[in-house]
Amino acid sequence: MRRSPIVPNSDLSFAASEFAKKKGLFEPFHKICYEAFWQEGVNLGDIAILQGLGEKVGLDPIEMKTSLESSEFKEETNRQYREALTMGVTGIPSFIMGRYFFSGAQPYEFFKHVAELVQKEQAEKG
């Protein structure tokens, strides 16, 4: 993970993710956006960049642009944003593993420790 030189307006990327979800391509779209942002520092607030990333995973770039410009997913993304705030999400990336919530880039050892705790707790529950 590398910190991006820009802080994009994430409204468009959230809406594009909803578009991808509607088309059954959320997982590959999410992955390519995540990698593009955290490895290459691309501006996920730019429709043209989102279209290009979407096209790489099989989304129609023209249809995506029309959807994003129409604010088709505005209500849904606003609802998700409000829900995230109630959970304590204040930054990215944020993670929920079992009953544990943490935010921000963390070292591998931290993830491993939390995953081991969750596995132990689940095994104890039976």
Is pTM, for the whole model, over 0.85? no
Residues 6+ apart with CB under 8 A from 102: 94, 95, 110, 114
4-8, 71-75, 78-82: range with lowest mean pLDDT: 4-8
Residue 87: per-residue pLDDT = 83
Tell me the mean pLDDT in the region 106-115. 93
Domain locations in the chain as residue ranges = 11-85, 90-125
**Quick one: pLDDT band at residue 84, thresholds 50, 70, 90?**
confident
Give yes or no for residue 102 having a pLDDT over 80.
yes
- Report cis status (omega within 30 of 0) of the bond before 5: no
